[in-house]
Amino acid sequence: MRTIDWVDGAIEIIDQTMLPGELRILRLHTVGELVAAVQSLAVRGAPALGVAGAFGVALAARVHADDPQALALAVRRVETARPTAVNLARGAQRAASQLNRGPQAVLEEACRVRDEEIAASAAMATRGADLLTQLCGARARLLTHCNTGGLAAVTVGTALGVVHELHQRGRLAGVIASETRPLLQGARLTSWELTQWGIEHRVAVDSAGPFLMARGEVDAVILGADRICANGDVINKIGTYAHALGARRAGIPFVVVAPESTIDLDTPHGGAVPIEDRGAAEITPWADAVNPAFDVTPHDLVTAIVTDRRVITGSPAATA
């Protein structure tokens, strides 16, 4: 099942704010609706955001075909709806590169972005499962963070796609889904997807991760990325850095799985990435708060980055 697609002239998404309680399909007809869906995290996860960005520009191209100024403004709104995952602006820009050829060409490019992410998921699953088996032996107990499944990447996903592949191969000995404060992408979405796939798992609070690794309950950490910088720094959901530190202390592999579309060679290092802060209301309406949605894991804590084309063990720029 595709969790985001273009259907009969509109974008269809699974509304991820409603899971796991309700499987609701949303149809988005306007750029305003798409931007609202991105900002509320009804659609989320870096590869899915790339597809959302591309389809968002396809919507804009239809509505504003005769008004170049309004069109440029709409494209900008889509590109900047969220700042951290490089895929969103990249997907929007790819679709926008066809604007001079008309709305149909824009839509065709957006569909190519979608199809490439579907193919990337399949390639990452195979390559990632091979690597995890090399690193962990016959059966791996994995800890994952946030949601990196089909919800985040149109079909099977990035890191969770690898988990699924290992399960299919009979090489998975356990999964811990880190709950992912404050919006619970792990506890709500990863748990939901694993349940759909019939994969047994346990949910843990985020802060338990490093302790569970220290206690010897995890063979490797596997998760996704919103942006990977030229030097290999990994930007991902808040909590990732703590898991990387825990993995290093426990002496277990820390593996990042992300498509090439998440690698941003134009950004030299993690310090240069805009980190979205989602404000106090999301976590504590009664006090001021700091609420970064992502963190930076320095490249030296990363064992390997698995993409749809390669396994990177140093700087992505060096092996591009």
Ligand X SMILES: CSC[C@@H](O)[C@@H](O)C(=O)COP(=O)(O)O
Cα dist from 15 to 19, 41, 79, 198, 242, whole Å? 7, 8, 20, 22, 29
Structural contact between residues 156 and 126, judged by C-beta atoms closer than 8 angstroms: no
Size of the site for ligand X (CB under 6 A): 20
Cα dist from 245 to 48, 287, 291, 300, whole Å? 28, 29, 20, 10
Does residue 158 interact with ligand X by CB under 6 A?
A: yes
The nearest distance, CB 110 to ligand X, in angstroms, is: 19
Does residue 18 interact with ligand X by CB under 6 A?
A: no
Binding mask 86-125 for ligand X (x = CB under 6 A): ----------------------------------------
Q: Which residue is nearest to ligand X (CB)?
A: 224
Which two tokens mark 217?
Answer: 């309950």
Which stretch, 53-61, 96-104, 220-228, 296-304, contacts ligand X (CB under 6 A)? 220-228
Pick 99 or 304: Cβ nearer ligand X? 304
In one-letter notation, the amino acid at residue 149 is G
Does residue 85 interact with ligand X by CB under 6 A?
A: yes
Does residue 236 interact with ligand X by CB under 6 A?
A: yes
Q: Which residues contact 50 (CB under 8 A, 6 or more apart)?
A: 85, 87, 88, 90, 91, 113, 117, 261
Among 41, 122, 245, 301, binds ligand X (CB under 6 A): 41
Among 56, 224, 246, 316, binds ligand X (CB under 6 A): 224
Among 37, 90, 124, 148, binds ligand X (CB under 6 A): 148
Which residues are catalytic, by number? Answer: 226
Q: Bridge-partner residues for 295, per DSSP? A: 236
The nearest distance, CB 293 to ligand X, in angstroms, is: 5
The nearest distance, CB 262 to ligand X, in angstroms, is: 7
Which two tokens mark 250?
Answer: 């426990």
Among 98, 185, 190, 267, binds ligand X (CB under 6 A): 185
Pick 86 or 107: Cβ nearer ligand X? 86
Closest CA to 179 of 143, 131, 219: 143
- Using CA atoms, how far apart are residues 105 and 176, in angstroms rounded to an integer? 43
Does residue 153 interact with ligand X by CB under 6 A?
A: yes
- Using CA atoms, how far apart are residues 219 and 217, in angstroms rounded to an integer? 7
Give the CA count within 13 Å in the CB-facing half-sphere of 243.
Answer: 37
Structural contact between residues 234 and 296, judged by C-beta atoms closer than 8 angstroms: yes
Binding mask 42-71 for ligand X (x = CB under 6 A): --xxxx------------------------
Chain contacts with ligand X (rule: CB under 6 A): 41, 44-47, 85, 146, 148, 152-153, 157-158, 185, 223-226, 236-237, 293
